[in-house]
Structure 1
Amino acid sequence: MATKKFKCKVCGYVHEGDKAPDVCPICAAPASEFEEIKPEKKGLDRDSNVYTVVYAAVMVVLVAVLLAFTSQSLRSYQQKNEENDKRQQILRSINIVVSSNEAEAKYNDLIKEAFLVNENGEKVEGDAFAADVVKAASEHKYPVFVANVDGQTKYIMALHGAGLWGPLWGYISVDGDKNTVYGADFSHQGETPGLGAEIAKPAFSGEFKGKKLFMDGTFKSIAVVKPGKSVAGQDYVDGISGGTITSKGVDAMLFNSLSGYVKFLTSQN
């Protein structure tokens, strides 16, 4: 059985056999004028629906694998950034402002102790830094960070609440008397720039310094009121002009969050 095909370059005659004929039977051209016809390699029709589906499926899988690999590779960096952001917030509540690169070292230098307390002010098991504040509060556990600032003890407590467009959170610190506010820091997710978002600015958080959480031995928290208003028998700060709902959110956040710390704050430990 013939295994190869040879074509005469002079007349186009096609010969089948193991080799080209000595002479073309049509035009008498010699064997040197023949060339072997190579069989065409069949491939996938790029215009077919099958090719399109297979190509799309392969690309989706490749992209998914690449994204998963990238996400996994960057996760450790993302987590470190998140942790440093939390450290920066905690430090801002004791009036220390540092860059992300400096946060870990400064935090380790100033924060001498971190623990969770229950509603009775007793220490309970758990990681105060890693704790999800909202989840911990639902379990009646509250993070406490103890700082040493210029030889003075400061107690830092975590806050969480709701604003106009999303969650609010922050930290507030008190002096060794567990009553006088030393500093505060507030953050938000999605509050209106120039209005409610102003709670994240030092101009607002700075108003809390020196305010009292207790009046005549009774927990009062600190009220956030409309500018020009006041509250009898309770320390207060001016809210954000044009950010009434966010200001009310901060007011409620302070009272609700700090209520869980009352027995800790009134304890002698």
Structure 2
Amino acid sequence: MSSNKETFGKTVGFVFAVCLVCALLVSFSAVQLKPLQQANKLLDQQTKILEAADLLELAKGDIVGTYNKYVEAKMIDLDTGEFIEGNPDLFDERRNSRDASKSEKPKNDIAGINRRSHDAVVYLVRDGAGIIETIVLPIVGSGLWDLMYGYVGLEADLNTVRSVVYSDHKETPGLGAEVVNPKWKALWPGKKIFDEQHNLAIKLVKGGAKAGDVHGVDGLSGATLTSVGVEKTLHFWLGEEGYGPFVNKYRNGGLN
């Protein structure tokens, strides 16, 4: 009996030791890999911002150098549209939107985001002479299965689209996931967000937009709900509860 107890105790001790070693290895790996993960996340973000600004070809693989040369990240207060003090590198929209003290529930939550951060980061993209050519605005809104995160790049008039780039989504491959298809993204440059009276006019058209329709973009075939989500996301973020106050203050080249 004593021998059996001894054997059982040794087994438990061995299992405990193995678990402890594994836990230590996992913790060590997590700590060691965290800087690499953060660097990769930042590189992906900078890549998407350059794509939204139509600068990927210019970058020619030097993402960090091109980003640092042409892009300036600045914080804004979404309610007023004013620039504010703050470190854009430390800003986390997802974290802020979960904090009731740093976010609010939209009155008209057509994007389905539940809460919206009080602040946001905008990316001012300058040419070689220092003139702002593009403003890249982060966007987030519901797709079919979950929230979709991306960027819309606008020319200095804050109306003409350069690009719409989605960076994070869980849409169905071959359907809603076509938001990352280069052919669909190629339909956006030159489209207008607002009409001549500054009303939101951008729309995704089921069956395809008519030729010459500066506000219409072809909807995603077989993915009506995702298309509706993209349209509502743009209407929310370019509207009064999103970047609307910022756009009203600086439209038509007011940032230069």
Residues 161-213 of structure 1: CA distance to partner in whole angstroms, max 9, x if unpaired? 11112221111111121211122211333211111111012222221211112
- How much has 1:114 moved relative to structure 2? 2.6
- Residue of 252, 255, 260 corresponding to 2:232: 252
Alignment match, 2:118 = 140
Residues 1:236 and 2:216 are matched in the alignment: yes
Query: Residue 61 of structure 1 aligns to which amino acid in structure 2?
Result: L
State how far apart, in whole Å, the 2-side matches of 1:139 and 1:258 are: 15
Q: Partner amino acid for 1:67?
A: V
1:50 pairs with 2:32 = no
How has the CA–CA distance of structure 1 residues 104 and 239 changed in structure 2, closer, same or farther, with 3 Å as cutoff?
Answer: same
- Asked if 1:89 is matched to 2:48, the reply is yes
Change (3 A) 1:203 1:127: farther
CA apart distance, 1:46: 10
Which residue of the partner structure matches residue 113 of structure 2?
Answer: none
Q: Which structure 1 segments of 5+ residues have no match?
A: 1-43
Is the contact between residue 161 and residue 249 of structure 1 (CA under 8 Å) also seen in structure 2? yes
Q: Say if 2:208 and 2:219, in contact at 8 Å, map to a contact too.
A: no
- Give the secondary structure class of the aligned counterpart of 2:186: helix
Post-superposition offset of 1:128: 3.0
Q: How far apart are the structure 2 equivalents of 1:159 and 1:165?
A: 17
Partners of 1:221 and 1:254 within 8 A in 2: no
Kindly indicate whether residue 79 of structure 2 is the aligned counterpart of residue 119 of structure 1.
yes
**Cα 1:262–1:250 shift into 2, 3 Å:** same
Q: Which residue of 2 aligns with 1:60?
A: 19
Structure 2 stretches lacking a partner, 5+ long: 98-102, 104-115
Q: Does 1:156 align with 2:136?
A: yes
1:128/1:143 contact within 8 Å kept: yes
1:163–1:188 Cα contact (<8 Å) kept: no
Secondary structure of residue in 1 paired with 2:10? helix
Q: SS in structure 2 opposite 1:48?
A: helix
CA 1:112 to 1:228, structure 2 compared with 1: closer, same or farther past 3 Å? Answer: closer
The worse-fitting range, judged by mean Cα deviation, of 211-220 and 59-68 is 211-220
Which TM-score applies when normalising by structure 1?
Answer: 0.75
The correspondence for 2:66, drawn from 96, 102, 106, is 106
Task: Work out the percentage of aligned pairs sharing the same amino acid.
Answer: 29
**Which secondary structure state, in structure 1, belongs to the residue aligned with residue 29 of structure 2?**
helix
Q: How many residues of Structure 1 are paired with residues of Structure 2 in the alignment?
A: 224
Q: Per-residue CA shift, 1:2-27, capped at 9, x if unaligned?
A: xxxxxxxxxxxxxxxxxxxxxxxxxx
Counterpart secondary structure, 1:207: coil
C-alpha root-mean-square deviation of aligned residues, in Å?
2.6
The partner residue of 2:184 within 197, 200, 204 is 204
Quote how far apart the aligned CAs of 1:132 are: 2.2
1:131 to 64, 81, 91: 91
Match of 2:112 in 1: none
Secondary structure of 2:91's partner? coil
Higher Cα radius of gyration: 1
Could you tell me which amino acid in structure 1 is paired with residue 183 of structure 2?
A
Deviation, structure 1 residue 102: 2.5
CA distance in 1, matches of 2:192, 2:38: 35
The structure, 1 or 2, with the larger RCO (C-alpha pairs under 8 Å, 6+ apart) is 2
Q: Distance in 2 between matches of 1:47 and 1:225?
A: 74
- For normalisation by structure 2, the TM-score amounts to 0.78
Distance 1:129 1:219 in 2: 33
Among 66, 75, 96, the alignment partner of 2:34 is: 75
The aligned amino acid for 1:142 is: A
The answer to whether the Cα contact below 8 Å between 1:221 and 1:234 also exists between their aligned partners in 2 is no
